[in-house]
Structure 1
């Protein structure tokens, strides 16, 4: 898609200037170099080495400085060409010469022959180098890509106590290597395509042939092929384009920095999506149950994993419902509060000028501001600002009589509980829905909370991720998948892949999920 965006722009420009322009490589070396410079605007980082191969045979090597490996170009390409110039120039025709260069003399691993100027330009801007030979309408593309990349390090957004300490980086080839280290299966597939009309970034769909449902791969490919944007700067662009419902507060694809998580997902029968330049891989499809699962659940014994998962469900309940329940009970249902607790709450609220709903909104928004500020500040002071700011503002608000101490406790407990949810995007969704529950509780009390809860459940039941119901295995129900739902069964018991994915190979051989 957008293959000829350079050509369309330059053809219009050249038609004004009245010059002859072609999208195919010609036989004249200087004309080919001129066309290349015209397409990319003669940038300063374009390097062109002109060579004399003997017997008046001229050639040229072009590459982008900073994207290509200069040492490999000079040592394995240019020196080799000059050292064997008499042998090269002895070929009968330029076409035979370029074939001889490709087969005999060029010692770079990846060599491709092309006559398309569009392809040549895109590969050149991706880090490859180009070899032109005067008199032939084809060029050689050398795999000399090399640019500065971040070293493999521990994922920042997903910290674990036990598990692999390596995370994805911005280099696509490195990320593919990390997945192959976990899955040494010849059926592992990496389908490569391009995304972005102008950026031309590489995008890889990862799955295991023989496990994944072929219809799932076709659906992912169909949605990816519909992407029409200038550039996908990060995998979040891809996620938002191919999700089922962009109006839903819930994410319909998982994003992760962990190669072991992607490897585990594709072994279930899911599909991984990698984008060049992004350290976050996407996993499709997902369900609401995935929000409470962490790779660490499967690295510890099943009792520990089950306990941690139950804690997360409790944390999610507190995150969404605790402020709303407080508002409903204090404002409408005081009779449901035990007498001693009711007297204590009334005493702490004495002198507070605002109703419980306004209190909760003030403190909730303050906590969100502190959380966002802590995330944006440098790491060395971000945590300090979050902790100290929360303590100082909370104490000052209570001392000034703006909020009650019990409200500070409720908001602080809610903020802590939200951090128990492993999937960050789902945690944000729960924090957002919390304000909806608070408003409903302020208007209708417990009845409002129940109504909003019913509405959310209706939405989740109707929501899908790549065509898979978001509420599975709750509804539709897959009883055999419940052993890895709220409870995490022992590893020997989890010997089947999730039924909702309809995998071709249903037996997993004690596969973690």
Structure 2
């Protein structure tokens, strides 16, 4: 009986899919020459929504009918009134003697003589018309023709350009991406005026049909990387991709890895610099976050600000980041291992101090650390979700109050509060949120290993992490390059950052077509 129920549901689902596909095929048929029939079919396809505007009128002083169709709120009314309606109703009157309204070439005459809009194209199917209207363009129907002119009139409201809140820099550009794709591509073209800059468009989402743009510089990028990214983008089959996070999860090499294999950023300057290094960037309409591929482990600890500071300062800050990454991953586990299994490795005075502070604490070191780390993670998430002024207060005041209350109640020791605080501060030094999430996951794994086997457990987990890293790839590029495989030439911009005048070539591991980044003349960089 149950099996019959599922069989019936499967049969009904199959029939609904077939009917939907047949309906879609009907909507993809050629347009008709009758204006009323074309408008009826369009309204039937969209079921006459309230924001669908159909404006019928005649051409000039003639009786020849036409109509413009658009979605209210998506189309720019200034373009509609000044460059479409005005031209058709006024300009066509002045050119009435030259305009042959009964001719089969009336669409060409409108295209060449009447419409003063830069983006105009001809379409021949109902499906193309509906997709264009739903994207913000305007359709011009002319009675007696089986063609429709699609006029570019996108003009919805956009957020103003602001500094990215997730990637704040002391020195550098103050503009970030917004949700409008065309505004974002303009930001890239402002910085790169190379005629070899390529923008390849895709339509992502069977239902949403969002525009996605793949950006690279022909002549610099390795063609194999572009080919592989194109293959993965072409394989995407989703109803909708509201953010580039969907694209990232679809094209990444290993979905089981905690490490980000594709970089995400809101900064146009970072996208520009990485594209100039031979990488590819991905922009998606509707989100301010761009993707950059391929990505390596060393680059997750680098910031665009490293190149806006002098080389000595940038090198020092990078070393601090590596130290912060090590502390954020290993410090709680190291404390658990030493206190639980290896107290003899702690200096005597420090060991006595820790033992005195832990006197009366009812929990072992692992439970103590787990409670405090979990509380810190909850405070961090609460600070992100709450309104900004309240979130900052919760993060600071909440941590202090809970820490002091826990120590006063004898639940945790003061040294544990210090350990957790140092770990949290170190994690804030990481430049990108995604690598911070990976380190937070590894921190809890190492804490569990330290509680079970002490330092030996930490070493085993560390070995497993390294085995995973050396086997991980990003768009086919080894994730641990240039550490392993080793490219000594790229070490000048890895942990330390050499002076700009010494960074003469692009990363060797990218195998770019044009390796030279700085021209040389008589032994000195040339302009």
| Bucket of the pairwise TM-score, normalised by the shorter protein | over 0.9
CA distance in 2, matches of 1:268, 1:22: 43
Q: What is the alpha-carbon distance in structure 2 between the residues aligned to residue 219 and residue 295 of structure 1?
A: 26
Work out whether residues 88 and 101 of structure 1, in 8 Å CA contact, stay in contact via their aligned partners in 2.
no
Offset from partner CA, 1:180-239 (integer Å, 9 cap, x none):
111111111110110000000000000011000111111000000000110001010000
Deviations 1:110-138 (A, max 9, x none): 11011121111111101000000011000
- Specify the alignment match of 1:83 in structure 2: 90
Of 138, 142, 147 in structure 1, the residue corresponding to residue 151 of structure 2 is 142
Structure 2 Cα separation of the partners of residues 129 and 22 of structure 1: 18
Structure 1 unaligned segments of length 5 or more: list them: 1-6
**Distance of 2:288 and 2:27 partners within structure 1:** 39
CA spacing shift, 1:290–1:263, aligned 2, 3 Å: same
TM-score (norm 2): 0.93
- Count of aligned positions: 501
| 1:272 corresponds to 2:281 | yes
Residue of structure 1 aligned with 2:213, choices 201, 204, 208: 204
Which residue does 1:109 correspond to in 2?
Answer: 118
Compared CA separation, residues 14 and 236, structure 1 to 2 (3 A) = closer
Q: Which residue of 1 aligns with 2:136?
A: 127
Q: 1:65 aligns with which of 68, 72, 77?
A: 72
Match in the other structure for 2:196: 187
Quote the offset at 1:97 in angstroms.
1.1
Q: Is the 8 A contact 1:11 1:21 kept in 2?
A: no
**Alpha-carbon deviations, 1:359-383, whole Å to 9, x = none?**
0000000000000000000001101
Q: 1:60 to 1:9 in 2, by over 3 A?
A: farther
Counterpart CA distance in 2 for 1:95 and 1:129 is 22
State the 1:94 CA deviation. 4.4
The equivalent position to 1:99 in structure 2, one of 108, 115, 118, is 108
- 1:72-112 Cα distance to aligned partner (Å, 9 max, x none): 11121112111144445841644311111111111111110
Partner of 2:6: none
Q: Residue 212 of structure 2 contacts residue 282 of structure 2 at CA under 8 Å; is this kept in 1?
A: yes
Report the 3-state secondary structure (helix = DSSP H, G, I; strand = E; otherwise coil) of the residue aligned with 1:194.
strand
Specify the alignment match of 2:174 in structure 1. Answer: 165
SS in 1 for 2:282: strand
Aligned to 1:43: 49
Distance in 1 separating the partners of 2:512 and 2:308? 24
Aligned ranges for residues 448-463 of structure 1 at < 5 Å?
Answer: 448-463=457-472
Alignment partners' CA distance in 2, 1:465 and 1:115: 42
Which residue is 1:320 aligned to? 329
- 2: CA distance between counterparts of 1:304 and 1:21? 62
**Cα separation, 2, equivalents of 1:411 and 1:352:** 16
SS in structure 2 of the partner of residue 190 of structure 1: strand
Q: For residues 440 and 184 of structure 1, what CA distance do their matches in structure 2 show?
A: 53
Instruction: Determine if contact 2:64/2:101 at 8 Å carries over to the other structure.
Output: no
Alignment partners' CA distance in 2, 1:266 and 1:358:
47
Work out whether 1:378 is the aligned partner of 2:384: no
Partner of 1:3: none
SS, match of residue 140 in structure 1: strand
Post-superposition offset of 1:356: 0.2
The aligned residue for residue 9 of structure 2 is none
**Residue 27 of structure 2 contacts residue 45 of structure 2 at CA under 8 Å; is this kept in 1?**
no
Structure 1 position 489 matched with structure 2 position 489: no
Q: For the residues of structure 2 that align with 1:41 and 1:222, how far apart are their CA atoms?
A: 36
The aligned runs of 1:225-236 (5 Å cut-off) are: 225-236=234-245
Distance 1:485 1:14 in 2: 53
SS class of match (2:105): helix
Q: How does 1:306-345 map to 2 (within 5 A)?
A: 306-345=315-354
Residue in 2 that maps onto 1:441: 450
Counterpart in the other structure of 1:423: 432
Q: Which ranges of structure 2 fall in alignment gaps of 5 or more residues?
A: 1-16, 520-524
**Over 4 Å off, 4+ runs:** 7-15
Structure 1 contact 94–135 (Cα < 8 Å) conserved? no
For 1:95, what is the secondary structure of its paired residue?
coil
Which shifted more, 71-80 or 141-150?
71-80
Q: 1:161 to 1:421 in 2, by over 3 A?
A: same
SS of the equivalent of 2:264 reads strand
Q: Which string of whole-angstrom CA distances, capped at 9 and with x for unpartnered residues, describes residues 302-355 of structure 1?
A: 000000000000000000000000000000001000000000000000000000
Q: Could you say what secondary structure the match of 1:159 adopts?
A: coil
Measured in 2, the distance between the counterparts of 1:491 and 1:30 equals 66
